[in-house]
A = this chain, B = another copy of it.
Amino acid sequence: MTNTVSLLKEHNLRNTEARVAVLNTFMVQPHALSHGDIEREVGEQFDRVTIYRTLTSFMEKGLLHKVPVDDGSTRYALCDHCDHHQHEDNHIHFKCTVCGTTQCLDELPIPQVKLPQGFTLTETNFLVQGVCKGCNG
């Protein structure tokens, strides 16, 4: 089963209330979340600092990855195929310019890139901006 508790265990993270709450937020929300987003969601129950540290732990254990955005916020999304050695985040992120949310378009693979001589690749991120289905409807 792939519920919150077992996901934590699989990633060598202790099962605590705060972690379950934060992880749950990611599983319910379909888009990339910032610290602020999560604080708004579960902030009544847990300290701001705990949320910061939870996000850091999740990153380190390969449960979350950072999503590149252009507004100066740090945003995270659930890893699909990441482990704690390497983050692999091979799908397109879509940021809606109307509602401001960033979501993962898992269906669409990122096209290959051929870098110039001398460059080594470890990770690719594709961010597309526009208007999402909901806001276009």
Interface residues of A (CB under 8 A from B): 66-75, 92, 94, 97, 105, 107-108, 111, 113-133, 136-137
Contacts and interface: CB of A to CB of B under 8 A. Distances in A.
Contacts of A118: 132-133, 136-137
A70 B67 contact: yes
Contact of A116 (B67, B68, B105): B105
Contact of A119 (B119, B126, B132): B132
For this chain, the copies found in one complex come to 2
Contact of A120 (B74, B126, B136): B136
Nearest to A89: B70
A115 B136 contact: no
A73 to B, nearest CB: 6
B136 A119 contact: yes
A120 B131 contact: yes
A66 B74 contact: no
A116 B107 contact: yes
B68 A70 contact: yes
A122 B69 CA distance: 15
